[in-house]
Amino acid sequence: MQADVKHSIIHQFYTNDGQIGLRVAPSTLAINDEVGLLLDELTEVYQAKPSKGYARFLTAEDEQETTLKSDFPELLAQWRKDELEFVDFSQQAAKLLHQQLQHYGILEPGFLLLATYAERGEDFLVVAFLPSQDGVTIAPDLSVDRSSQLAISKVQLAASINLREWHEEPDSTTYISFIKGRAGRKVSDFFLDFLGCAEGLNPKKQSQQLVDSVTRYAQEEQLEEEQARQLRKSVYEICDNQWQQGEPVRVKDLSEQLSESLPRERSFADFNQAQQERALVDEFPTDRSTMRKLVKFQGQGGGLSVSFDQDLLSERVEYDPHSDKLTIHGTPPNLRDQLRRYFGIDS
């Protein structure tokens, strides 16, 4: 992470006699190599998470469903206005999280990290609950010692707030990104309550809408099969590049890049505007797994899982829609070895 770290602090949550306790740090961490490595590792783990959500802070106009209102946005605003020191802001934020943990009866020891940094002309605040685990270390005298270590790779509660976007574009719904949980009552829901925010644009839904729009565009423009394939591939590559950089997709920019590789009388942006209620928003974060539908066929069910690049259709892979039969010419080496061993054939 090529970032300029401004402030960082860690507060501890511990369990004792069936209760969750809090120990706040009296001062910020020194900005040194160790702190830099910690934030680098956390950023790498955060960016590698396959599914992220985007949110905004709740306002007075929102109907808040949470039973315990969070003052986190107000505290953050006070710090940004220099009405609170960063240490005071972080300590009060930790106490808010402590109240949430007590309210929901969650006994989860760990450490709350708050850090601010500047990167690519943007100011960010990262808020992460770092789980801990027992580990074994070698002391300076070469004796074996047991210690509590951060389990950064297991982080499930983390959010990144774009402070510049929040200040300059308060109506945006994507200035907060967070790690999304799995099905059911998501772990991230509790963390959103603590931060006092609500989910904004849904990357999966927006990405699926883009996939559908690209398909309709190819059909209405009556693109030949190879042109349609190139269109889908170009859209995927552009979106994937934006995803890797942590940037949203902008329909205008996407359309301009497509016009360079596949010039048409009606651009993708013009097509999108004509969709009315089905039109894409001007910009939105994408979901990588959903966008793969543009270049891959994949599905599973009944004990069978199949996935292959769309380029292989009608070449190594053939499909008969009448008999619903899929024929694969040339199996992957590792699958072929398993099958040959199963049938007792020397590989």
pLDDT classification of 103: cutoffs 50, 70, 90: confident
88-102, 106-120, 180-194, 325-339: least confidently modelled range: 180-194
pLDDT of residue 65: 52
| Cα–Cα distance measured from residue 92 to residue 80, given in angstroms and rounded to the nearest whole number | 15
Distance CA 71, CA 136 (A): 39
Per-residue pLDDT tens over the stretch 228-240 = 999 999 999 999 9
Q: Which pLDDT score, from 0 to 100, does residue 59 have?
A: 79
Compute the distance between CA of residue 14 and CA of residue 122 in angstroms, rounded to an integer: 34
pLDDT surpassing 90 at residue 85: yes
- Confidence category of residue 274, pLDDT binned at 50, 70, 90: confident
Asked whether the whole model's pTM tops 0.75, one would answer no
Residue 173 has pLDDT above 90, yes or no: no
Please check whether residue 251 is in contact with residue 282, taking contact to mean a CB–CB distance below 8 angstroms: yes
Contact status, residue 56 vs residue 175, Cβ threshold 8 Å: yes
The pLDDT value given to residue 2: 58
Provide the pLDDT for residue 266.
92
